[in-house]
Amino acid sequence: MVYDTIMKAKATLVLNRKETFSDGTIVQIVVWTLPIPLKGSLHRYKYRLYFGKDGACLVRYDNEHGKGDHKHVAGLEEPYRFKDVNTLLDNFWEDVERIGGE
């Protein structure tokens, strides 16, 4: 609880974008920098990248305190090796395009 309060107070929003496409799919990308890495991650970013339709998650990249970097693609969860934000965005969009985005 104290950890979450400190992180929220000192986190800096880097990117916050949400788009709804003509086919009804939604993309939301949110990235923050943190004062220290989340437990389970080796970098100072907290992120949530989402692609879905009709309430169903088709692709999601995120990192959670204790769980670390991972991704969900077509219902399967697997670890994700974070390199940098640009690579994260590239990898996310590649999965979105492969799953069926515009």
- The pLDDT tens digits for 1-37 are 545 555 556 899 999 999 999 999 999 999 999 999 9
For residue 11, the enclosing domain spans 2-99
Answer yes or no: is pLDDT of 66 > 90: no
Q: Model confidence at 64, in pLDDT bands (50, 70, 90)? A: confident
Other beta carbons less than 10 A from residue 53's beta carbon: 16
- Positive or negative torsion for Cα 35, 36, 42, 45: negative
Q: How many domains does the chain have?
A: 1
Other beta carbons less than 10 A from residue 90's beta carbon: 12
Q: Which residue has the tokens 């920098």?
A: 33
Closest CA to 73 of 54, 94, 87, 89: 94
Distance CA 58, CA 39 (A): 26
pTM here is 0.85
